[in-house]
Amino acid sequence: MTFRKDDFGQIYTTEGLAAALVMVGVLLFIMQSISLVTPQTGMTTDMKLYQKTADMLVCMDNPGGDNSSILKAAVAGWGGSPATISSVTPPGDTNISLLDTMLASNFTSNPASSDIAYELDIHYNDGTTNHDVPVIIHGKPADSSVVSSRLVTINRGDVNSTFWATKNRYPQVVEVRLSSWYL
């Protein structure tokens, strides 16, 4: 038996085979690998936090038997002043501090060891300019904050603060924004 001395009629080179094997191996590896990382962990936790934030606003805006919600009462009774660095809520504003208490106790089952911080802003237009006023401040929002918002309409007949009465723009639509983030 003799080997042929020319290079015709052979598989072109072993390189071709090897490359094909590598390709198939890579594909199999991608399709079948089970990662130990929970899928899209970052997105899932963001979604969960967003859902919690949105739920909080929905729950606070629940109209009770007298057709008014805690959220609406707080916004309608708001005196127009912002929260400051030294004060979590506007000084003397009991409705807003009630909202803060509710948020603090409900974001986690144990407020003492809560790993969530939040900020509440009131956004409205007074006919000439847009105003964006923070009314509950718990530190600086992180880069990964999520925001949910809800519209509250204040009518003439509602129990309003002198702040809204002076503006005298009814119905006044106010956007309440709740931002939250993990500490």
Query: Which residues lie near another protein (CB under 8 A)?
Result: 1-3, 5, 7, 10-11, 13-15, 18, 22, 26, 30-31, 33-35, 37-40, 42, 44, 47-48, 51-52, 55-56, 58-59, 62, 64-66, 102, 105-106, 109
Q: How far is the CB of 69 from another protein (least distance, A)?
A: 11
Q: How far is the CB of 139 from another protein (least distance, A)?
A: 22
Smaller CB separation from another protein, 63 or 91:
63
Letter string b/e over residues 28-62, b meaning 16 or more CB atoms within 10 A of that residue's CB? eeeeeeeeeeeeeeeeeebeebeebbbebbeebbe
Q: How far is the CB of 111 from another protein (least distance, A)?
A: 11
Smaller CB separation from another protein, 18 or 159:
18
Among 52, 84, 56, 81, which residue's Cα sits nearest to residue 70? Answer: 56
Angle (deg, nearest 10), helices 94-107 and 41-60: 140
The answer to whether 122 and 78 are in contact (CB under 8 A) is yes
